[in-house]
Amino acid sequence: MEVIIGKSDQIIEKAQAIRYQVFTVEQKIPNKLDFDGLDSSSEHVLVMNENQPVATARLTIDTDGSSVMARVAVLEAYRGHGIASVVVKALIGHATSQSVSSIEIHAHGYLRSYYEKFGFAFIKEVEVVGEHQLIEMRYQIVRT
């Protein structure tokens, strides 16, 4: 497995293809909700397996040092092998290297304990997207 982080058109295109499969096809979330105009200004992580993109997420960094991790997606055939954890750890590491102070995520409610394993703290329930209740969580980056 290879992990790539960047914002080139090729990386974004591959990330969007994974997201379309996971969010639009599988989870029945309207495609227009995924395309929010932030892809070109965000850093994307891609996990590649034998030259094929299998997982993605993006990090949007604000000028105040905060950031938002979003669009974490793993193709169905690759779930259950720890690839989502590779994605999350890669984005946390990248955020830290970019002097980010915090990472916010709006995750599916059932993933609360999963993100708590990485140090994310539950903030509150937020919007419902499609039929999915999302929760806001935050990871505070501590500088030593």
Q: Are 104 and 136 in contact (CB under 8 A)?
A: yes
The full set of domain ranges for the chain reads: 2-140
| Per-residue pLDDT at 30 | 81
2-140: CATH topology is Aminopeptidase (3.40.630)
| Per-residue pLDDT at 144 | 65
> What are the residues whose beta carbons fall under 8 Å from the beta carbon of 134, sequence distance 6 or more?
106, 107, 108, 109, 125, 126, 127, 128
pLDDT tens string, the chain, 144 residues long: the values are: 899 999 999 999 999 999 999 988 998 888 887 788 899 999 999 999 999 999 999 999 999 999 999 999 999 999 999 999 999 999 999 999 998 999 999 998 999 999 999 999 999 998 887 677 889 999 999 866
